[in-house]
Structure 1
Amino acid sequence: MANNYFNPSTYNETMVAFGFRKRMEGWVVSGTAGLGRQAVNQDPSTTTQLYELAATSPVASDSYYFKTRAGYGKSAGFLGPNYFYRYVMEELIFPF
C-alpha cells in the first residue's frame, strides 16, 4: 500500500500577499492575493499562489448573517510542486 501523505523533510515558502476589506451598504467585501516561491527538500524552487474573495452580508435583525468565500491556491503537494485547489465556502451564521 502506498503512503499518500505529503510529508517532506523540509518545506520552505515565502509569499508576499496584499489584502483589502471594504464595507459597502452593510456588506463587508474582502480579498487577498499572494505570490511567492516554495522549495521542497532539495528540489528547485517553484511558484506558489493564493487568491481569495469573500463577502459577508449585513446582520438580519440581529439574528443571522451569510458569508461566502471563493479561492484558489497553488502549492506543493503529494502529486508534485504544481498542486492546486479551488474552493467555494458558504456559511449561514446564527450568533448566540
Structure 2
Amino acid sequence: MATSTKINLRPLDDRVVVEPSEAEETTAGGIVLPDSAKEKPQRGTVVAVGPGKLLDSGARGEVSVAVGDTVIYGKYGGSDIEVDGREMKILRENDILAKVL
C-alpha cells in the first residue's frame, strides 16, 4: 500500500503516478506462488496527478482521479520508474480503466 509521504514528482498534463499494489502471494485455493508465476499487478494507489490535458481552447481538462484513489489500469500500460526506492508507474489518464470505490 502507498504511504502518506509526499513524493518529489509532478506529472505533466494528464499523466498520473501510481504506486502498484503488491502481487498476490497465494491463489484463492491457498497455493503459494513463486516469483516467476506472479502476474504484474493491475491495481494501485494514485500518488500524484498532473494539472490536466491542455485543450484547444487553452483551458485545462479535469483529471477524473485524485491522490489517494485506488485504480485499475492496463497490464502493459505506462512507464515503470523508481522514486525514493519505491516502484512507481506513470500512466496517461486514458490508460486507467476504472476507479475502485
Greater strand proportion: 1
TM-score (norm 1): 0.31
TM-score (norm 2): 0.30
Q: Which has the higher contact order (CA 8 A, sep 6+)?
A: 2
Greater helix proportion: 2
